[in-house]
Structure 1
Amino acid sequence: MAMLGSTLGLRCTVRGLTTVGRRRLGWLALGAVAIGTGIFTMHFIGMMGFTSPALPITYDATISYASLAVAILVVGLGVLLVGLHPTSVPALLLAGVITGLGVAGMHYLGMAGMRMDGGLAYDPLIVVLSVVVAVVAATAALWFAIAARSLGAALGAGAVMAVAVNGMHYLGMQALTLHAHTETVGLGGRAPLETLMPILLGPIVLLLVVGLVVGLDPMTADELNTRARRTGTPGRPVARLTEPQRG
C-alpha cells in the first residue's frame, strides 16, 4: 500500500511538471492525496498485526482521520514546493524535509489515537532516527521522481518512498513501550477488525480512484517533452507524428 500510494503520488507530481496554472496545482494536490493516503493505509494495515498481551486496543476515529489530514496537508506542502521549483536543489531538500515530517507526523498522531487502559512511552533516540529515515528517503524519492522519465523509474521512486514510510513506521514501533494501568494479562490481542476496517475503507477507495485517474490520463508526447525542457532532464525528445511538408 505504501508503494502504491507513493508511486501514484510521485507520478501525479511528474504530471504537474508538464502543465501550468490550475491544472498543475490539481495534479500536485492529487499527488499529495495519493501519498498521504498510502501512508495512512500502510500504517493501519500494519497496526492490524500489532498485538499487546495485556491491553485490549481500539482506535479513536476522529484522531485517526486527523492523522490522514496531516499526512495529506504536510506532504502536499512538500510536493507543491518541488513541483513549483523542480530544478532548485534547496527547494528539493526543503521538500524532502517537509514530506518526511509529514510521514512521521501521520504515524505519531495515528498512534495517539490508540485507546487502551494504559499509556504510551517512546525512546527519544529511536524516534529521532525514525524521522531521519523518513526525511532522507523522502528526499531521495522526490529527486528520483523529477529526474527520471520512464514508468520503471517511477516505480523505483515509489519503492524508495515506500522504504521511507515503512522504515519510519517500524522504527517508530520499535521505540514504543506500552504501560498497563491495571492487571489485565490475557485480555489483550489485536485491535478488532470492526474498528480498523471502517477507518481504512474510505482511504483505500480513494487510493483506487486516484489510480483510475492516473491510468485514464496517460502522459502525452507533448507533456513529456515539456517536462524534459522544464526540469532539464537529459535525453532525446519524444517524437511526434507530423504531416509531410509540401514543395
Structure 2
Amino acid sequence: MQGTIDGFSYGAVTPVAAFLMACLGAALGLRCTTRSLRTERSFKAGWLALGATSIGSGIWTMHFIAMMGFSVEGVVIDYDKAITFASLAVAIGMVAIGIFIVGYRGATRMALVTGGTITGLGVATMHYLGMAGMRLPGQFEYDTITVTLSVVIAVVAATVALWAAVSIHGFLPSLGASVVMGVAVSGMHYTGMAALNVHLHPGALVGAGSDDAQTAPLVPLLIGPGCFLLLAAVVVMFDPLMVMGTPDWDDPKVLNGAGRRPGIPAPRPVPRQVPRFGTHADPASFHSGPRDPAPPGEW
C-alpha cells in the first residue's frame, strides 16, 4: 500500500530552521578551516577537528530538524538510536577526512577535488543512513536518478565550500559562502526526500499519528549536537588563539614596512647582555647592537 508523505507538516518552520542550522554549521566549519591555515602546526589539527565536527553536527542537526516536518499519514514514526547516532559519526568522520586533506595539502586542485568528494559523500551517506534509522510499518523505495542527483549536489556543495574556506577571506564573503553551502545542503536533503516512496505493510494504518508523536523521538537526540554548535560558536567568537597570542602575529601581510603592525609603536631595544655579577647594573654595560671588540689583553 502506498503511503501518503507530507514533508512539511509544520509549514515553513522546519525548512527555515533546518537551513539556519546548516548555515551555522557551515559558517563555524569554514571559519575554523580558514584559521587552521593561518596558525602553527601545533594548533592546525585542533582547528580542523573543530571545523569538521561543526560542519558534521550542523548537517546532521539540519537533517533531523527537517525530519520533524516529515510524516506518513496514518502511522507513527520512531528512530533507531544506534543507527541515528552512527549517521552523526559518519558525517563528522568523513567531513574530517576531507577537511584535513585540504588543511594539510592546501588549495591544490587534487586536494579540493578529493576532499570535496569525500566530504560530499559523507553528507549523502549521513542522509541515507539517517533515513535507514527510521522505524515505521513499511519500507522505503528510492528513485535512482533523483538519489544520484542528490549525491552530485552534495559533492559539488562540499567542494565549493572547501574552496571558499581556503580562498575567500573577510566576514561578508565567508558569510556568503556559508549561506551558499546551507542552500546546497538543504537542497541535497529535499532532493533526496523527493526520491522517496513509502510502501506500507498491509494493516499498517492504525490511526492518524499526531505531529507531537512524530517530533517527540527527535527532540532529545538534537540536544547534544545543538549545544555543541552553540559552544563552538562561542569558541570561534572569542578565538582562544587571540587570547593566548596568535602564532601569526609576525605575518608579513599584517605588518608594515617597519616590521610592526600599523599604529603600534616600535618595541624598546632588548639588552644583548646583562652583567652577571653585582647587585646594580651599569647602564653603560647594556648594548642594543653588537659589542665592540675587547681591547688587547682583556677578556
- State if a TM-score over 0.5 links the two structures: yes
Q: CA RMSD in A?
A: 2.2
Aligned to 1:192, the other structure's residue is in SS state helix
Distance in 1 between residues matched to 2:147 and 2:255, nearest whole Å? 45
1:54 aligns with 2:74: yes
Identify unmatched segments of 5+ residues in structure 1. Answer: 230-235
Q: 1:5-16 to 2 correspondence within 5 Å?
A: 5-16=25-36
Name the aligned partner's letter for residue 118 of structure 1: G
Q: 1:187 aligns to what? A: 208
Q: Kindly state the Cα deviation for residue 154 of structure 1 after the two structures are TM-superposed.
A: 1.4
Q: 2:296 aligns to what? A: none
Q: Kindly state the Cα deviation for residue 189 of structure 1 after the two structures are TM-superposed.
A: 5.1
Higher relative contact order (CA 8 A, sep 6+): 1
Distance in 1 between residues matched to 2:151 and 2:77, nearest whole Å? 25
Q: 1:26 aligns to what? A: 46
1:163 aligns with 2:163: no
Distance in 2 between residues matched to 1:224 and 1:3, nearest whole Å? 30
> Cα deviation per residue 1:155-205 (whole Å; 9 max; x = unaligned)?
112112212211110000000111100230643454533210000011100
Distance in 2 between residues matched to 1:8 and 1:124, nearest whole Å? 33
Query: Which 4+ residue blocks in structure 1 deviate beyond 6 angstroms?
Result: none
Identity of aligned residues (%): 51
Q: Kindly state the Cα deviation for residue 80 of structure 1 after the two structures are TM-superposed.
A: 0.5
Larger Rg: 2
Name the aligned partner's letter for residue 216 of structure 1: F
Q: 1:189 to 1:171 in 2, by over 3 A?
A: farther
Native 8 Å contact 1:126 1:174 kept in 2: yes
Distance in 2 between residues matched to 1:138 and 1:189, nearest whole Å? 36
Q: 1:238 to 1:121 in 2, by over 3 A?
A: farther
Native 8 Å contact 1:16 1:23 kept in 2: yes
Identify unmatched segments of 5+ residues in structure 2. Answer: 1-20, 270-299
Determine which structure has the larger helix proportion and give its number.
1
Name the aligned partner's letter for residue 114 of structure 2: L
Native 8 Å contact 2:71 2:214 kept in 1: no
1:121 aligns with 2:141: yes
Q: 1:225 to 1:180 in 2, by over 3 A?
A: farther
Q: 1:233 aligns to what? A: none
Q: 1:81-100 to 2 correspondence within 5 Å?
A: 81-100=101-120
Q: 1:80-229 to 2 correspondence within 5 Å?
A: 80-183=100-203, 184=205, 186-188=207-209, 190=211, 192-217=214-239, 223=248, 226=251
> Cα deviation per residue 1:114-159 (whole Å; 9 max; x = unaligned)?
0001001100110000000111111111111211110111111211
Distance in 2 between residues matched to 1:23 and 1:80, nearest whole Å? 13
Distance in 1 between residues matched to 2:198 and 2:49, nearest whole Å? 37
Native 8 Å contact 1:18 1:224 kept in 2: no
Q: Kindly state the Cα deviation for residue 224 of structure 1 after the two structures are TM-superposed.
A: 8.3
Native 8 Å contact 2:140 2:199 kept in 1: yes
Native 8 Å contact 1:16 1:28 kept in 2: yes
Q: Kindly state the Cα deviation for residue 87 of structure 1 after the two structures are TM-superposed.
A: 2.9
Native 8 Å contact 1:74 1:102 kept in 2: yes
Q: Kindly state the Cα deviation for residue 20 of structure 1 after the two structures are TM-superposed.
A: 2.6
Distance in 2 between residues matched to 1:156 and 1:2, nearest whole Å? 13
Q: TM-score, normalised by structure 2?
A: 0.74
Aligned to 2:198, the other structure's residue is in SS state strand
Distance in 2 between residues matched to 1:116 and 1:87, nearest whole Å? 45
Aligned to 1:182, the other structure's residue is in SS state coil
Native 8 Å contact 1:142 1:157 kept in 2: no
Distance in 2 between residues matched to 1:115 and 1:194, nearest whole Å? 14
Native 8 Å contact 1:141 1:161 kept in 2: yes
